[in-house]
Amino acid sequence: MTNRKTMTTAAGTPVADNQNTLTAGPRGPVLMQDYQLMERMAHFNRERVPERVVHAKGAGAYGTFTVTGDISKYTRAKLFDKVGNRCETFVRFSTVAGELGSADTVRDPRGFSVKFYTEEGNWDLVGNNTPVFFLRDPLKFSDFIHSQKRNPATGRRDPVMQWDYWSLSPESLHQVTTLFSDRGIPATLRHMNGYGSHTFSLWNAGGERYWVKWHLKTMQGIQCLPNEEAARIAAENPDFHRQDLYEAIARGDYPRWKVQVQVMPERDAETYRIHPFDLTKVWPHKDYPMIEVGVLELNRNPEDYFAEVEQAAFEPGNMPPGIGASPDKVLQARLLSYPDAHRYRIGINYAALPVNKPRCPVHTYHRDGHMRFDGNGGGAVNYQPNSFGGPADDAGYREPPLRISGEADRHDHRAGNDDYGQAGDLFRLMSEEQQAQLVGNIVGAMRPVPREIQVRQIGHFAKADAEYGRRVAEGLGIPLSRA
Ligand code: NDP
């Protein structure tokens, strides 16, 4: 005996034959009235949603976040009101430049996005495995990404475009140094750190605001892949990182990260020697030491890749009361661009999809729109103010006001900015072996690039650290005097 279910159409009507198309005679032609054939072909044609322009290739898993350190004096977020609090999470890792079918083990930053389903709504920390980024002004984002994607004429990725853009954008140097370091290709998604990268804020019930930087430190230890090993894996198994994460969780080897935060009192931002809202800079730990916050553990695989990982929608603007944004220009642009991308990619009602849906009740006045599948609010009142007990705003959740001043202008973000100091610090903290890898990786990547661009870029390396510049120049056979 079998209790196999009867196959149906999408409307639930039983299917009598899923092997043979309805035809006029055994040799055809097909009859238009074969509704089932039409339905199956039409649905198949629409199986893909547009892939993300960046961060297309990803892997994801559910997990648990547990608070282990008390930061309640900085934030009123209920998640942090006592040590021991827990919430469910969903994490999506990704490469940046490659398409949905690209190889995992390429040199690229990795997206590291965490959705915390808190009792006061979702908190999305949408970060990377690097503490900084290639730019500090969001107007440059699409230019930067174009330079890293495919050449419009050849349809190939193009080192000339990449190094041309970088060499003309010195603010990228810190991140370029990170990217070409040993950490530029993580061994697995479990063996890399995550960073919120931007400066965010925390605010407490007393109306005090603090600027913060989030860090997620791998408890598996940092492990990386050298170029040759990464290339071999990419050829043999382009889904290597996806497979590793899935299998580790399936066998109960749950990856974990220590969540830590650096905290700066609001007024320090006015006098701190480093521009605190510059996405190309870190805050040295001796200035703002790491504070323990919690542990993130991934312990449950998704059941359906498309439904959960592909439809996962993270947005930096998802912040429960007590957590806030900052004047970081790139963060501000992302507050708009992420939900905008989701509306385009998976539709206006993306927040109601199971992977994105908050675990707490949601009371909005949103109605209708494509693919409304959650009851649409039923007969509840759909405007506000109203006399019928509809949800109401609550001033108790008001964020403290932020003092802002200045002249509205297109201020030159490159003027007077030190693009070299922290890139040099990174070079100097590397071991001899790491420096040799960095230089080797850069020299290999820059070989196909015209001499003029090589010389310009070597000038940047040399400004970060004379030794850094000298070794890249030597590797490319260029006298340092020319750079
Ligand atoms: P610190 O010595 O206080 O911190 C150095 C940080 O660098 C540690 O967080 C360490 O974290 C990380 N690190 C160590 N080796 C490497 C490596 N080979 N590649 C990348 N990161 C590494 O010094 P500072 O805070 O003054 O930072 C010095 C430089 O370190 C910065 O310019 C920046 O490039 C880099 N860095 C700084 C971070 C920060 O938040 N201050 C964060 C990450 C990097 P771990 O080994 O545990 O990952």
132-148: per-residue pLDDT in tens? 999 999 999 999 999 99
Contacts of 197 (CB under 8 A, 6+ apart): 127, 128, 130, 131, 132, 133, 213, 279
CA separation for the pair 54, 94 (Å, rounded): 9
Q: Is 19 left (phi over 0), alpha (psi -120 to 50) or beta?
A: alpha
Closest ligand 1 atom to Cα of 287: 25
Mutation to probe ligand 1, out of 175, 261, 285 (largest number of atoms < 8 A from CB): 285
pLDDT of residue 54: 97
- Name the active-site residue from 55, 174, 241, 342: 55
Determine the pLDDT at residue 2.
65
How far is it between the farthest Cα atoms of the chain? 85
Structural domains of the chain, with CATH = 58-132+187-357 (2.40.180.10), 421-478 (no CATH)
Q: Is the CB of 426 under 6 A from ligand 1?
A: yes
How many whole angstroms from 171 Cα to the centroid of ligand 1?
18
Q: Please provide the DSSP assignment of 23-69 as one string.
A: BSSTT--B-TT-HHHHHHHHHHHT-PPPPPSSS-SEEEEEEEEEE-S
% of the chain beyond a pLDDT of 70 = 99
Q: Which DSSP state fits 91?
A: E
CA of 85 to the centre of ligand 1 (A): 29
The span from the CA of 129 to the CA of 192, in Å, is: 7
Distance 313 CA to ligand 1 centre (A): 30
Q: How far is the CA of 426 from the centre of ligand 1 (A)?
A: 7
Give the rounded distance of the alpha carbon of 118 from its chain centre.
Answer: 19
pLDDT tens, position by position, 287-345: 999 999 999 999 999 999 999 999 999 999 999 999 999 999 999 999 999 999 999 99
Q: Tell me, what's the pLDDT at 174? A: 98
| Confidence (pLDDT) at 3 | 79
Percentage, residues of the chain above pLDDT 90? 98
- Give the pLDDT of residue 251: 98
Nearest CA to ligand 1 atom 11: 217
434 CB within 6 A, ligand 1: yes
pLDDT score of 480:
78
43/204 Cα distance (integer angstroms): 50
Q: What is the pLDDT of residue 481?
A: 79
Please tell me the residue having the least CA distance from ligand 1 atom 33: 426
Distance 422 CA to ligand 1 centre (A): 10
What's the DSSP call for residue 411? -
Mutation choice for ligand 1 from 425, 426, 432, 438, CB with most ligand atoms inside 8 A: 426
Residue 13 CA to residue 49 CA, distance in Å, equals: 27
Closest C-alpha residue for ligand 1 atom 44 = 131
Quote the CA–CA distance of 171 and 175 in Å, as a whole number. Answer: 8
Ligand 1 atom index nearest CA of 425: 32
Residue 128 is a catalytic residue: yes
Q: Quick check: 309 and 254 in contact, CB under 8 A?
A: no
pLDDT lower than 70: segments of the chain: 1-2, 483
Catalytic residue among 85, 122, 128, 193: 128
Cis peptide before 385 (omega within 30 of 0): yes
User: Which ligand 1 atom is at minimum distance from the Cα of 130?
Assistant: 43
